[in-house]
Amino acid sequence: MTNSTKPTRLRGLARGNNLTTLSLVVSFLLLCLFFATQTSSFLSVGNLENLARTLAVVGITAIGMTLVMITGGVDISVGSVAALAGVITSVLWREAGVPLLLSTILALLGGTLVGLVNGLAITVLKINPLITTLATFSIVRGLAFVLSEGQTNMLSNPAFNYIGRGDLFGIPFSLLLMIILYLVFIFVLNQTQFGRNLYAIGGNLERSRLAGIQTNRHLLIVYTLCAFFAALSGVISVSQLASSAPRAATGLEFTVITAVVLGGTSLSGGKGSLIGTLVGVVILRILDNGLVLMKVSSFYQDVARGVVLLLAVGFDQLRIRVSQLIGRSA
């Protein structure tokens, strides 16, 4: 790619991301308007506070998933990692007598280790990301059941529960933490060489390697980060619920992937933004919340999420084909 065409391509990518974000914002406003007219409790202070608190678990996990999917990969083990982190925290504290702070740190390290294993399997053993994370999805969930003996463990501690239930300056602490993480990684993606390299890897792995980018190192980092964020989300979830269970975060991976794809990240890699992901997360949480308030059956909620994922993937494929046609005509 020549120096003259590179800025043009980057500007085109930026315009595409802006259009996607704009369409998501419009969808968000229309969705809010619809639920506000269907149920009076949707815009109540209590419901909005509850909605804000539930954003963090999906939102933080989606940061790591966005990084992975920009490189052209996927990680479907995040739900299991979140469950394992919660189980490790409660088991170490309740059963082994380990201080709660140390238990939390060890839980985060345990989740991060899963990401490191994923990254090594993908970069060193050259196993497909889908197969690798499908395997760890099963293994890690099984470990959560083994460690907890299939039981739900209560974890009530004022300092620990503050993470998921506390407020800072009138804003849920977990929401503030999520916003800070988004700001940091939006900067990383848009303003650092590391972020630009992730887009390059997703665009063409082999060309990136030939251009001198340490592709294996970058992939190892993003899969490790993805698992760390999943573990952090698991800890926040346990803090909110004051309990951990090996079945926790079931289906989290599909919700997160739906949010990321809905936010404009391409399944083929090389395209995406964290701003779009954040809007996608908000839209999905509003959809779930609104359907619950309308007393729609949970079965239909699953159908709604599946339809959203299908439409998002279909739009992504359409966008790729249009881009290819424009490229050929140019």
* Domain segments of the chain as ranges: 15-329
Nearest-angstrom CA–CA distance, 217 and 227: 16
Contact status, residue 193 vs residue 35, Cβ threshold 8 Å: no
Residue 324 confidence (pLDDT): 66
- The residue count of the chain comes to 330
**Which regions of the chain are under pLDDT 50?**
1-14
Residue 31, classified by CB atoms within 10 Å of its CB into exposed (0-12), middle (13-18) or buried (19+), is middle
Give the pLDDT confidence score for residue 315 in this predicted structure. 74
Q: What is the pLDDT of residue 140?
A: 97
Q: What is the pLDDT of residue 5?
A: 43
Neighbour-count burial for 187-226, b at 16+ CB within 10 Å, e otherwise: ebbeeeeebebbbbbbbebeebeeeebebeebbbbbbbbb
The whole-model pTM stands at: 0.89
78-91 pLDDT tens trace: 999 999 999 999 99
Q: What is the pLDDT of residues 280-324, one digit of tens each?
A: 999 999 998 998 899 888 778 888 888 888 887 777 777 667 666
| Answer CATH for 15-329 from 1.10.3470, 1.10.10, 1.10.1740, 3.40.50 | 1.10.3470
Per-residue model confidence (pLDDT) at position 143: 96
